[in-house]
């Protein structure tokens, strides 16, 4: 039988700053679907430089890269 998992993600910051920094900060946790006890979890604070304030397509691209990075961390934590 295939194991099912629940994933929780709580974002605290998901933004671009006036200084050109793009920030994803939050916490994720993984548990088996039949338990609320986490089997893995981590606080993330991913930052990228180089965003030009006002360049919203660029902001979306950088935030997307940060989401992909966090998603890879979560995927590696699942047994």
**Segment 40-78, tens digit of pLDDT:** 999 999 999 999 999 999 999 999 999 999 999 999 999
CA 34 to chain centre: 24
The Cα–Cα gap between 20 and 48 comes to 8
Q: Are 21 and 49 in contact (CB under 8 A)?
A: yes
> In 10 A of CB 53, how many CB atoms?
12
Residue that the structure tokens 């099912």 belong to? 4
- pTM attached to this predicted model: 0.87
pLDDT at 1 over 80: no
> Which residues span the domain enclosing 38?
5-77
Nearest to 4 by CA among 41, 36, 32: 32
Number of folded domains that form the chain: 1
């Amino acid at each position: 039988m295939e194991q099912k998992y629940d994933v929780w993600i709580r974002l605290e910051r998901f933004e671009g700053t006036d200084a050109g920094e793009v920030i994803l900060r939050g916490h994720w946790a993984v548990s088996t679907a039949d338990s609320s006890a986490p089997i893995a979890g981590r606080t993330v604070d991913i930052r990228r430089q180089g965003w030009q304030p006002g360049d919203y397509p660029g902001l979306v691209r950088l935030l997307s890269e940060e989401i992909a990075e966090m998603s890879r961390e979560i995927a590696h934590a699942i047994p």
